[in-house]
Structure 1
Amino acid sequence: MRSNRRVDIDRTDNKPICEQPIASTGTIVHVEGFGLVKAFRLVATNGDTEHGITNDLTMDELVRVTYAERSWAIEEYHRGLKQYTEV
């Protein structure tokens, strides 16, 4: 999710997600023009921040990490296929 996407945590005002107190374990927010989602703040080792969202409001940190690991494995698999076909 782009850092300037507007969300509302407490139903008072839409602000960019980067300005909201989003927990790494997930925070339920209202996305302008969409509805309720669970947002996660992900901080890389170099300090960069990204935000991920899901419409599964019951998702916890363990499930999110599991899906992230699976998606990374798929990314590596596709990268390997691409390198193999370029040889």
Structure 2
Amino acid sequence: MSSGPADAHKKYLRTKEAAPVVGLCARTLEKHRTYGTGPKYRKVGGRVLYDIDDLHAWIELGARTSTSDTDATYLPPAKPHAARAPAYAGKPR
């Protein structure tokens, strides 16, 4: 059995590869990145890379034991108002 680069487990994924890991489409993951509500990522040259461990950690932030779980972290949707709400609360547009 070979342990070359082709057989090695990928540590970093591009957006299209990372999206299925977190159960989202690539465009939604891009929106999360734009609004600052998604998992950590790295920019290498012009490429966006996600560490597989960061993807799993982001998923775990949303873990719940029941619908009334108050100890869980809130993961906002990929919407502009979700990311800007605290900074722009009460300010007119």
- TM-score, normalized by length of structure 1? 0.28
TM-score by length of 2: 0.27
Between Structure 1 and Structure 2, which shows a larger proportion of strand residues? 1
